[in-house]
Chain A
Amino acid sequence: MNFPILSAIIFIPLIGAFFILITQGSEKNVEKNSKYVAIFSSLANFFLSLFIWFSFDLNTSEFQFVEKRNWIDGFINFHLGIDGISILFILLTTFITPICIFSGIQSIKFKIKEFLIAILLLETLMIGVFCSLDLVIFYLFFEGGLIPMFLIIGIWGGPNKVYSAFKFFLFTLLGSVLMLIAIISIYWIVGTTDLIKLLEYKIPKDYQYLLWLAFFSSFAVKMPMWPFHTWLPDAHVEAPTAGSVILAAILLKMAGYGFLRFSIGLFPLASDYFTPLIFLLSVIAIIYTSLVALMQDDMKKLIAYSSVAHMGFVTLGIFSLTKQGVEGSIFQMLSHGLISAALFLCVGVLYDRYNSRMISSYAGLVNVMPKYALVFMIFTLGALGLPGTSGFIGEFLVLVGVFQKSIIVAILASIGVIFAAVYMLWLYKRVIFGRLTNLKIKIFTDLNKTELYILSSLAFLILFFGFYPEPLLNTMDVSINNLIDKYQNNLEYHLTQTVK
């Protein structure tokens, strides 16, 4: 196929953003038009990505829809391509972005035009991350995402937004610059930054450990892994609802994707060597942040900490390096993308009505908002991993994978599942049930149409993939097998080299 469909999917939002930028006229008109442009371009992108999914060849692990253009002469190619793993993340991105736009239109009160530009720009950069097959291009997209996210938190955020925005920006930048050094070093060691060539090349063992650590520093901050997670609760609390949704649903997944694609693909020996470290950090993340989540009185902070715990499962699964584990971690990322997005939207629904994120401000909502209570229930159960929701499949597969590597780690991680049930159910109980005493809450209206459509579509997907995960698992199956096989071969090669 000659049509550059991946470039199209990357740059459609950018073009949309450009059109919004140049719209002129009275303020009301500009706002209306920008909303239409944003909705149109993000939905078009979603359908385009669905089209890519349907025309995707499930039987090959090769990269598909490959595009290669000369970019910096003889040095870096603008090289795009997707496999069974990246297509799913692209789908997640194109699905979440319209939701953010709808939610933003509802709740953002000023500078709506700039907000839509920022979201569309962010979509371009996020899709670019999942499509790029060149380290430099990857870095470009990965880092570029900082700019719009910084603005989203800083302009439309809560009272302490400046601190959070700066913390977010500087933490992630600090992690990433080390990755840049690693990327340049790889260029001088191997002579290329092209991912397909690099995956065939076996990077000498002396370099692997340091390079792995440099990539780790970037991904661990972005993921975020304990103890680099402190920026996340701050960023989530201050960010507007749409910003939190994008942050939790997609930005964090870029790090998981990076681990899969780069850390494991390029440095198998180091990945094997550092597995205990990852396991340790992940288990601490799961147990410690779950306990921290238990004690939060701010709903957004609670969900943010639960995100860290859920990401702990993801890193566990990835570095179990078994088929089930990796499959589970990807599934967990997708499902967490849906569930955390939904939970942040739910908090946003309350925040729009009462301007408070404190759990103690609410009680007995079931009396005035029955529909809300229902969808919130589904998301709560999803977050704690109840069978029948997508959260269960991910966690279960991860635990199966980890079990093959280390029983103790699997047991400790399962404890985390229990904690998740504790803090989520307790949250639900305090917010939804109880006596409705606050008079201001009594006049709450239930979900309006937009909110209902958004939340029920998310709820539908969470339940659907909980009962029938096949479509997702099928898509990634071949690519994961290939990933694991390559990893094993590569590792054996290095190990035999060492013995000699």
Chain B
Amino acid sequence: MQTIIYILPELFLSFSIMILLMIGVFVKKSFKLIYLLTILCIIFSIILLLNQPSDVVMIFNESYIIDKLSILMKVLTLLFCSLVLFASREYIEINNINKIEYPIIVLASVLGMLLMISSYDLIIFYLGLELQSLCLYILASFKVRDEKSTESGLKYFILSALASGILLYGSSLIYGFTGSTNFDVISNNLNQTNPGAIFGIVFVIVGLAFKVSAVPFHMWTPDVYEGSPTSVTSFFAIVPKIAAMTIFIRFLYVPFVNIMSQWQSIIVFLSIASMILGAVAAIGQSNIKRLIAYSSIGHIGYALAGLATGTNEGIQSTIMYLIIYLFMNLGLFSCIFMMKRENIFDENINDLSGLSKNHPLLALSFLVLLFSLAGIPPLAGFFAKFYIFMAVIESNMYLLAVIGLLTTVISAFYYLRIIKIIYFDKPVKRFDTSYDWGLKIPLILSTIIVLIYFIYPSILIDTVNTIKVY
């Protein structure tokens, strides 16, 4: 009975999914109601989470862990999920994808993410991963009558299923060579002289790299981001990243910690390749969603650079990077939700031309967010990169630091290009200005956080400092 308290948020979510499904079936035209209830459920589970004890607890035969890292990441997942839902409501209604299943599937995928974040066992981890992936496949192809959406859903399904298969194969190898699925036991039994298990680790890392879309396993990202409805893209770009990154951290630093020298070079490679591709490939894009896809690949590269260091500072810097990046991305997607002319949403960068003339405040938000994404001080994005490179240079990985900062300069180019279009080019037709508050809140929130973060940067450090994984 004692253990139930620790999984109360998850239990609450699973029950609310079923109840919401019932309501959806029996009440006619209940999309708005369910949407609202979904957000309320999420907020309520955040409250439940915040009341959890903050010491490390293992439950269910040590296969489920509740510690500071998992609580922080769960709160972030839920918080950003609710903000994304807030921001995308209008888009969903206008594009006629306002089916009751939408919020419920989102909720189910969030449940899967929470399971992933807390998992301390290969089986629980895989169950959580599959729960969230299956929901994401459906979401990607949610706009059934749209060719691109269906295509992206199918593409995502095939590639992701392949990655899951690889991951599962890796897990089974690890189980075979270490004799357990529990992270602690794996950690104790893994050592350098265990070649089969090292195969397993490589496969697991490949699977994880696919989930966070690190190069060279990134191919699905641009297509899926572009093809899915924007509301789904914003969800994809923000929420699953948190869970995937957490489990990445957990895998590298708990079961695989004894063979750090083996995986370190893999992570360094993933990081460098992602940074370079993210910077170079985004330059030629004209669709803003595709551009964000490449930019997110680059940003994952920076986050992985923190992980590659193998130190606690590295993990903390990765978490801080992730948090700041999520806020910037949330703001950017809120901006994109505002690119609407006569109820048709624009995705081309050139549609932003001369935005500063017609919508000065929206243009200002874009400006702040884009400069922040480019990592220019004193905006929050600079601090994110600063923490990462602090950790990287502490571990004497100068090559990684130099490449990372040079790619910052390259990637600054395409952020500047958008700013150029917004501020320097001739204005075109105005956007509709009738946004609801649900859209304004995430935008204002993230822009202000990005803008004034420099006044009190300690707040994030204090939150993250207490996190220790090993």
Contact = CB atoms under 8 A, between A and B. Distances in A.
Interface of A: 70-73, 75, 111, 114, 136, 139-141, 143-144, 146-147, 150-151, 154-155, 161-162, 165-166, 169-170, 173-174, 177-178, 180-181, 184-185, 187-188
Question: 5 closest A-B pairs (Cβ-Cβ)?
Answer: A177-B405, A140-B377, A184-B393, A143-B377, A154-B424
Given A155-B423, A161-B424, A162-B420, A181 B371 contact: no
B394 interface: yes
A181 B389 CA distance: 8
A134 to B, nearest CB: 13
A146 B457 CA distance: 21
Contacts of B458: 70-73
28 contacts: A71-B457, A72-B461, A73-B461, A111-B356, A114-B356, A136-B386, A146-B376, A147-B376, A151-B423, A154-B419, A161-B424, A165-B424, A169-B416, A170-B412, A170-B416, A173-B376, A173-B408, A177-B406, A177-B408, A178-B402, A180-B386, A180-B389, A181-B389, A181-B405, A184-B386, A184-B389, A184-B390, A187-B390
A185 B393 contact: yes
B417 to A, nearest CB: 8
A173 B390 contact: no
A181 B390 CA distance: 9
B435 interface: no
Contacts of A111: 356
Residue with the greatest number of chain B CB neighbours at <10 A, chosen from A73, A162, A180: A180
A162 B423 CA distance: 11
Contact of B412 (A114, A144, A162, A169): A169
Contact of A147 (B371, B409, B424, B457): B371
B400 to A, nearest CB: 11
A12 B341 CA distance: 40
A154 B405 contact: no
A144 B393 contact: no
A188 B393 contact: yes
B390 A166 contact: no
A150 B457 contact: no
Contact of A177 (B409, B454, B462): B409
B401 interface: yes
Contact of B416 (A70, A136, A166, A180): A166
A221 B424 CA distance: 25
- A72, A136, A161, A181, most chain B CB atoms within 10 A: A72
B378 interface: yes
B263 interface: no
Nearest to A181: B401
B409 A173 contact: yes
Nearest to A153: B424
Contacts of A170: 409, 412-413, 416
Interface string B407-449: 0110011001001100110000000000000000000000000
Interface in B342-360: 356, 360
A146 B415 CA distance: 14
Interface majority SS (helix, strand, loop, mixed), chain A = helix
Nearest to A155: B423
Interface residues of B, number: 31
Contacts of A165: 420, 424
Contacts of B377: 139-140, 143-144
A267 to B, nearest CB: 18
Contact of A173 (B378, B401, B412): B412
A126 to B, nearest CB: 14
Given A143-B377, A151-B423, 16 more contacts: A70-B458, A75-B461, A114-B360, A136-B386, A139-B377, A140-B378, A150-B419, A155-B356, A165-B420, A166-B420, A174-B409, A180-B389, A181-B402, A181-B405, A184-B401, A187-B390
Given A154-B423, A187-B390, A188-B394, A144 B376 contact: yes
B282 to A, nearest CB: 15
A150 B422 CA distance: 13
Nearest to A146: B376
B457 A155 contact: no
Given A72-B461, A177-B409, A140 B420 contact: no
Contacts of B409: 170, 173-174, 177
Nearest to B460: A72
A156 to B, nearest CB: 10
B394 to A, nearest CB: 5
Contacts of B356: 111, 114, 155
A147 B364 CA distance: 12
A220 B394 CA distance: 27
Nearest to A169: B416
Contacts of A187: 390
Contacts of B389: 180-181, 184
Nearest to A110: B357
A185 B405 CA distance: 14
Contacts of B390: 184, 187
Nearest to A75: B461
B313 to A, nearest CB: 11
Contacts of B454: 140
Interface string B376-404: 11100010001001100110001001100
A120 B457 CA distance: 24
Nearest to A172: B409
B404 to A, nearest CB: 9
B297 to A, nearest CB: 20
Nearest to B407: A177
Interface in B302-348: none
B388 to A, nearest CB: 10
A355 B145 CA distance: 56
B405 A178 contact: yes
A166 B423 contact: no
Contacts of A150: 416, 419
Interface string B145-188: 00000000000000000000000000000000000000000000
Contacts of B424: 154-155, 161-162, 165
Nearest to A179: B405
Contacts of A154: 419-420, 423-424
A305 B371 CA distance: 30
A70 B377 CA distance: 19
A484 to B, nearest CB: 32
B82 to A, nearest CB: 29
Contacts of B394: 188
Contacts of A184: 386, 389-390, 393, 401
A166 B390 CA distance: 28
A481 B424 CA distance: 48
A427 to B, nearest CB: 31
Contacts of A144: 376-378
Contacts of A143: 376-377, 382
A120 to B, nearest CB: 15
A184 B406 CA distance: 16
Q: Which residue among A136, A141, A144 has the maximum number of chain B CB atoms within 10 Å of its CB?
A: A144
Nearest to A184: B393
Interface string B289-310: 0000000000000000000000
Residue of B356, B376, B382, B413 with most partner-chain A CB within 10 A: B376
A164 to B, nearest CB: 11
B423 A181 contact: no
Contacts of B423: 151, 154-155
A274 to B, nearest CB: 20
B461 A181 contact: no
Nearest to A182: B393
Interface in B58-114: none
Nearest to A140: B377
